[in-house]
Amino acid sequence: MTNAGKGLVARHSPLVRVIHWATALSGFALLFSGFGQLPMYGRYNVVKIPGLGWSGDYEITLVIHYVAAVVFSAAIFFHIVFHVRRCELAAMPKRGDIAASYRTVVAMLLGRNEPPAEKFLPEQRVAYAAMGAVALLLIVTGAIKSFKNLGPIIIEPTTLQVVTLIHTASAMLFMLLVLAHVAAFVIKANRPLLPSMFTGTVDRAYAEHRHPLWRFSVPDAESAPVETVQEETRPVAEAGTASPREPVTPHVTRKTESSSSSAQAAPHLSEEAESSAPNSQVTWRPAEANRSAQDAPRLTEEAESSTELASDEATSRGNGRRSD
């Protein structure tokens, strides 16, 4: 997906961006409501901040925590199933990513040339795996902690303490990973990637320079208008009389000597032609014009012969009258 006119390459689809922000916002709500249940906000005067007086209420933070947990879990599982079914595993870590991440980070900090990267940098794949593992650990331990509120299910106290400790430690680690993820955009080389989580696109020159191994598609987002040329053709009355693209020549008639009856019949024929095709376009037929041109000498000869016969008859009649 590419916007060739603006030099942009599609990096994240709308669905991917929706899942990303659903995970991010629900994760933030989980962290905020979870720390509020320790309790911390009353002790450190967070409740005195305008608009956050409710943060010290355990029941409110518990409801927010459960609702955010449902959204967070649904987004995580949908993300996994969606990309596995589509075999979109570009963000999965590969062998050697840790060493490649070290080289890339050092090159970024020292201003050196970075190793050629694919769609995702090696450190992005490592962070993706770490954040995914911690998120799954939060979901599992949080579900176990929630079972104790169902009533009939009783969890052994020691097990519950271990699960709670793992859940709290995972939340701390998850928060650090989120902070590292956001802090990565402080580095100038990573800043062009930030708008892609809002617009879904990244600059094509940047992608070709920093991600030369990424095989993105070109072009796809906007296509140039296609101009179509339509040829004007004249209608043909009978099939096979003339080709639409052949030049059309007007019907040419030659003046010939004819009898008075032919001259009298001409207006009558023209009236019939006009009445038979009112408001219609005249169609010239080259074949008929050629036939008329070929028949013209023959008609001329017949007219001349008839004239000679008429003159002979007149001469003979005159001679007969003189003899009388």
What pLDDT digit, counting tens, does each position of 145-163 carry? Answer: 988 777 777 888 899 999 9
CA 293 from chain centre, in angstroms, equals 61
Q: Give the pLDDT score at 54.
A: 92
19-33, 54-68, 102-116, 143-157: segment of lowest average pLDDT: 143-157
The tokens of 172 are what?
Answer: 């701390």
How confident is the model over 37-42, as a mean pLDDT?
86
240, 236, 238: which is closest to 282 by C-alpha?
Answer: 236
Peptide bond just before 39 cis, omega within 30 deg = yes
Instruction: Give residue-wise pLDDT tens across range 50-87.
Output: 999 999 899 999 999 999 999 999 999 999 999 999 99
> Is pLDDT at 101 greater than 80 in this prediction?
yes
Q: Got the DSSP string for 25-66?
A: HHHHHHHHHHHHTSS-TTTTTGGGSTT-GGGG-HHHHHHHHH
